[in-house]
Amino acid sequence: MKPLYLFLLLCATTICSQAQDEGEAWKEPSKESRAYHTYRNYMSEPSYGKLKILGLLKKLTPDEDDNEKLKQSDYLSLTLREKFTYHMMHGESYSQNCDARPPIQDEHKKIFGRLPEMFGENNWSERQVQFLRSNKDSVMQWIKECVAKEKRLGLNLKHAIVDINAREMIPFLISTYKTDKKDHDILTVLMLLMKNNEYKEFMVSTSNKKLYGDEINSYDAFLNFNIPNEELIIKRATDFYNGLPK
Amino acid sequence: MGFQNSIILTGIIVVLLHTMAGQAQDGGDFVTIPKGQYTVGKKGHVLNPFRRVRVDSFRIATRETTNAQFDAFIKATGYVTDAERKHDALVYKPVLQEFEWFNDSTASWRYPNGMIRGGIENKMAHPVTSISYSDILVYCRWAGVRLPSLDEWEIACRAGTTTDFSFGNDTALLSKYANTWHGKDHLMPDSTDGYLFTSPTGSFAPNAWGLYDMYGNVFEFCSGKLKAYPSPTVAHARGGSWWCSPNSCHFFNSYDIGRTNIHASFSNQGFRVVK
């Protein structure tokens, strides 16, 4: 009877193991975590010609080709400020094939290496990015005006700051962060500026290795949010800014 | 003893049958996946939770659809792809930041990364790219085939496993099975595995069921929708691509499911078919 007993035991073990695997429930992030997720995905809506832009966006109702790009004539008729509003509210190009990120546990306790996506399956087109880069000084000013009005630095504004490499805005970013120290993605912007400009002190740091190292998926990588990490990022960014050619 | 022996023998047969169930057979261009119940998903994955699914038998291509096959379709039908009509294919060129793609008006399936980076004359055995999901549906109707469903693709990819890859959980082994991006970022071109862009289908090791390039080379579009993305303009693709690196799109695995616009054409998106 021993061989039969072993066989039955083997089957029972296998079934038990499968049941455990399949029975493991997905843990929902905490209420605080979900609230912060909503908070950090806030998109600013610049007021320059906002109603006009909203009207034009309604005209963009996808045709059979799902065109999402404003006609050149309509685009050229916009003022510079209106173009800025349009770009902050709409991505003209397709996003690459990327998955939706699973819910993040304790999102509010993390400083991420990258910003969340802005427009789902869409992104800024080249003409949009080119506009932002070509009008860098104005864009930085409009961002400041937008923040002054909304008391928030929306996700789209953060992406714009990184895309135009607005390292001149570091003091503004730090002061905005310090108003309530709630928006950890501002710290992410500071680190992206240091990384993209290859600031030596940051490039050799443990933070850089942890967030953008060779063997990790940096899209998900994060630092724990705590006072020492917060202060270290701000100090490094300040030193980086102070060392920039004036 | 005779009774005991017959029970033991029966047990062994049951175990063997259980082991064999779900194993693909055939050879050649298609592999038959038997009707049955399979395990898919990953614990904790919001889009693709760990679960059992039941599918009917299906036959899946061992390789991704090639330029030669798509060329035959174009020659037979005169079909004009989305990217050719709209001049909006998105391609890779060096010095792009992570997640940035270049809108090259000269790019299409004939010039997957734009005319300046060459045509497909010597790449007819490579997977076709710079085509949209919408284009692929037309090809499938013409060829009398279809795209795999999201579950069918994963069942074929997993080849009976429940690990992150069909060969286990060790990412270091991926280079044996997949054409992916090995550079730290995309600022500099990377061809350390022998290929900057796509590779001829079947250049890397197959999975246990004889399917090539389930990871890497090109993203493979699947049929079906996810509840999280009910939009009619969203399609889903799986398996990673030559562009995907551990530092950016960490997508070359058995469980992730991507989404993109049905008319978007990227030089790292392709497909394989089922019949």
Mutate to test the interface with A, among B5, B84, B100, B104 (most CBs of A within 10 A): B100
**Contacts (Cβ under 8 Å, ≥6 apart) of A155:** A40, A41, A42, A43, A44, A115, A116, A118, A185
Query: Cα dihedral sign for B110, B114, B115, B121?
Result: negative
The helix/strand/coil state of B146 is strand
Nearest C-alpha in A relative to B101: A96
What is the full per-residue pLDDT of chain B (275 aa) written as tens digits?
344 554 444 444 444 433 443 455 555 699 999 999 999 999 878 889 999 999 999 999 999 999 999 999 999 999 999 999 999 999 998 888 777 888 999 999 999 999 999 999 999 999 999 999 999 999 999 999 999 999 999 999 999 999 999 999 998 999 999 999 998 888 889 999 999 999 999 999 999 999 999 999 999 999 999 988 888 889 999 999 999 988 777 789 999 999 999 999 999 999 999 99
Whole-number pLDDT of residue A13: 35
Between chains, do A97 and B219 touch, taking CB under 8 Å as contact?
yes
- In the block, which residue shows the tokens 């770009």? A87
CA angle A51, A57, A58 (to 5 degrees): 95
Whole-number pLDDT of residue A101: 64
CA angle A234, A240, A243 (to 5 degrees): 140
* Neighbour-count burial of B62, counting CB atoms closer than 10 A to its CB (0-12 exposed, 13-18 middle, 19+ buried): buried
Mutate to test the interface with B, among A10, A94, A97 (most CBs of B within 10 A): A97
Whole-number pLDDT of residue B87: 92
Q: How far apart are CA A241 and CA A85, in angstroms?
A: 28
**Contacts (Cβ under 8 Å, ≥6 apart) of B125:** B66, B67, B68, B200, B201
Between chains, do B44 and A66 touch, taking CB under 8 Å as contact?
no
Is the ipTM above a cut-off of 0.90? no
Q: How far apart, in Å, do the first and last CA atoms of chain B sit? A: 50
Whole-number pLDDT of residue A14: 36
E-assigned strand segments in B170-268: 219-222, 234-238, 258-261
pTM check: above 0.90: no
- List of chain B residues whose C-beta atoms are within 8 Å of the C-beta of residue A7: 7-8, 11
pLDDT below 70 — which residues of chain A?
1-27, 61-67, 99-102, 214-218
Torsion (CA) B70, A95, B149, B22 in degrees, nearest 10: 100
Whole-number pLDDT of residue B59: 97
- In the block, which residue shows the tokens 């795209």? B147
B78 touches chain A (CB under 8 A): no
